[in-house]
């Protein structure tokens, strides 16, 4: 679907990281591959370190740490919050929902709308989309959009194709109304026929987790994982992204009578350095307009990647001025989307470390 | 051709690439090997391989890889 919004803005962005980083060099011995080959992969893919939460940390823990930071530092007041929208692949429980846990822990008023959306790498765009729709129905209230995932808990540490990529994080984005009649272009697409390209085979109601699904097995390519672990079909995802995303971006620019150069920043989901560089080449995006450095700093934290890459690379600029930005995400579903919007003069944008 | 074979052997010393008809079907190369080999080919031949050409069939044997290099502007 393609649609447009106006009179909405992103007011603040906070990224919350776990306490600890893990270095790729320290993990090499977990993988049954020649060290030389693995070290070249490090350079090409951008594997350096990734932020991993403690085993008992949940998304609500990271989110509450961040929201309390925002409340303590007057980024937002409790009474300003009209809705809590949480996007995550990693629920604390099947029931209750993360948004309700946050609602209860913060002691929010009973008229605050709570909603969880189970989405992965497209989660920031999905969350913004829902937030923009909700904000139309609130007077003088703001939406707290929480993206969060603790993927390190469901990816095998002996799976070189998946584990070095991922990272844990949460982000909180404050969405509010503005009197400015800004033009926000939104496009979201899905292809459910390719849904198994990114999958956790067991643990839901189709195949409940049990001793058999928990068994770690050599997948025939030297990677060990169980059916309870997240798995990505790298070739299918790569081909999907390189086919769908460039044509979507080119079409979005054309629909808005913009050239590639008219966009100040391309804040894309951050799967890995190689994929992003190939995407930039295909679209013709200059290197200085598309940051590709999230994986080497924090790992790929799924739906948190776009707000984190904004905060990592452009926080000063986004506080100081306004820029025309193209956001794009792609991943589980399979789903892919883009948004073109002027973003800037934010009230606050930062990344903090938690003790989680 | 010999340069490409040397690259393959350095990537996967345990595989005999001279006696294999299809590196993908035989499990010699997976998606991450393709990423690595792409990077090595780009460095060696000073080329940019188009993302849409990074397909398993273009890495299935040494002739296919050589054709990919030529298509991308390199000389084998």
Domain boundaries, chain B: 2-71
The distance of A42 to chain B (nearest Cα, Å) reads: 10
**Pairwise CA distance, residues A272 & A292, whole Å:** 8
For residue B63, pLDDT over 80 is answered with yes
- For chain A, give the percent of residues with pLDDT over 90: 83
pLDDT at res. A164: 87
Question: Secondary structure of chain B: what % helix, strand, coil (to 5)?
Answer: 60, 0, 40
For residue A101, pLDDT over 80 is answered with yes
Instruction: Give the closest of A239, A243, A274 to B35, CB-based.
Output: A274
Domain boundaries, chain A: 1-356
**Pairwise CA distance, residues A233 & B30, whole Å:** 10
pLDDT at res. B14: 80
- Select from A200, A269, A265, A212 the least CA-distant residue to A240: A269
Instruction: Give the length of chain B.
Output: 76
B36 in contact with chain A, both atoms CB, cutoff 8 A: yes
For residue A32, pLDDT over 70 is answered with no
User: What is the CATH T-level fold of the domain A1-356, as seen in this structure?
Assistant: Peroxisomal Thiolase; Chain A, domain 1 (3.40.47)
pLDDT digits (tens, 9 = 90+) for A329-352: 999 999 999 999 999 999 999 999
- Select from A286, A349, A283 the least CA-distant residue to A321: A349
Question: Secondary structure of chain A: what % helix, strand, coil (to 5)?
Answer: 35, 30, 35
Mention the CATH class of domain B2-71: mainly alpha
Cβ under 8 Å to A: B residues 43-72: 48, 50-52, 54-56
Q: Cβ–Cβ of B39/A279 closer than 8 Å?
A: no
A160 in contact with chain B, both atoms CB, cutoff 8 A: yes
**Pairwise CA distance, residues A106 & A348, whole Å:** 21
Q: What is the arithmetic mean of pLDDT over A261-288?
A: 94
pLDDT at res. A166: 92
Strand residue runs (E) in A124-282:
142-149, 169-177, 184-190, 198-199, 217-218, 224-225, 231-232, 265-268
For residue A221, pLDDT over 80 is answered with no
Q: Work out the burial of residue A312: count CB atoms within 10 Å of its CB; fewer than 13 is exposed, 13-18 middle, 19 or more buried.
A: middle
Cβ under 8 Å to A: B residues 15-34: 27, 30-32, 34
Q: Cβ–Cβ of B35/A44 closer than 8 Å?
A: yes
Q: How does residue A2 score in pLDDT terms, banded at 50, 70 and 90?
A: very high
pLDDT at res. A246: 94
Q: How does residue A158 score in pLDDT terms, banded at 50, 70 and 90?
A: confident
The pairing of beta strand A169-177 with beta strand A8-17: antiparallel
Q: How does residue A187 score in pLDDT terms, banded at 50, 70 and 90?
A: very high
Size of interface A-B (CB pairs under 8 A): 51
- Select from A124, A168, A166, A126 the least CA-distant residue to A307: A124
Q: Who wins on pLDDT, A162 or A253?
A: A253
């Amino acid at each position: 679907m393609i649609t447009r919004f106006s009179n909405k803005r992103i007011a603040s962005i906070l990224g919350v990281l776990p306490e600890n980083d893990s270095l790729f060099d320290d993990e090499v011995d977990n993988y049954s591959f020649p060290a030389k080959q693995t070290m070249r992969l490090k350079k090409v893919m951008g594997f350096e370190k990734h932020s991993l939460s403690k085993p008992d940390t949940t998304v609500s823990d990271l989110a509450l740490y961040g929201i309390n930071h925002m409340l303590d530092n007057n980024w937002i007041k409790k009474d300003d919050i009209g809705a809590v929208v949480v996007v995550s692949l990693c629920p604390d429980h099947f029931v209750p929902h993360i948004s309700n846990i946050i609602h209860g822990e913060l002691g929010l008023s009973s008229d605050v709308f709570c909603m969880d959306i189970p989405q992965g790498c497209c989660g920031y765009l999905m969350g913004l989309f829902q937030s923009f729709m909700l904000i139309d129905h609130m007077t003088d209230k703001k939406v707290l959009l929480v993206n969060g995932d603790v993927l390190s808990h469901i990816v095998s540490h002996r799976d070189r194709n998946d584990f070095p990529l991922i990272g844990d994080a949460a982000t909180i984005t404050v969405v509010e109304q503005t009197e400015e009649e800004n033009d926000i272009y939104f496009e979201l697409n899905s292809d459910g026929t390719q849904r198994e390209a990114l999958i956790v085979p067991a643990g839901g109601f189709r195949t409940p987790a049990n001793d058999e699904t928990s068994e770690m097995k050599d997948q025939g390519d030297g990677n060990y994982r169980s059916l309870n672990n997240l798995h990505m079909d790298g070739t299918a995802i790569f081909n999907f992204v390189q086919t769908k995303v460039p044509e979507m971006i080119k079409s979005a620019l054309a629909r808005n009578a913009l050239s590639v150069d008219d966009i100040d920043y391309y804040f894309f989901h951050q799967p890995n350095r190689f994929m992003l560089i190939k995407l930039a080449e295909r679209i013709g995006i200059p290197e200085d307009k598309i940051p590709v450095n999230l994986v080497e700093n924090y790992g790929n934290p799924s739906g948190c990647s776009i707000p984190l890459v904004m905060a990592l690379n452009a926080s000063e600029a986004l506080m100081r001025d306004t820029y025309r930005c193209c956001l794009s995400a792609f991943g589980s579903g399979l789903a892919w989307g883009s948004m073109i919007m002027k973003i800037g003069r934010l009230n606050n944008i930062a990344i903090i470390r938690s003790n989680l | 051709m010999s340069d490409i074979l040397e690259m393959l052997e350095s990537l996967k010393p345990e595989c005999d690439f001279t006696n294999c008809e299809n590196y993908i079907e035989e499990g010699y190369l997976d998606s991450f090997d393709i990423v690595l080999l792409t990077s090595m080919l780009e460095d060696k031949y000073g080329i940019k391989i188009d993302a849409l050409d990074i397909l398993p069939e273009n890495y299935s044997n040494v002739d296919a890889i050589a054709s990919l290099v030529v298509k991308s502007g390199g000389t084998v």
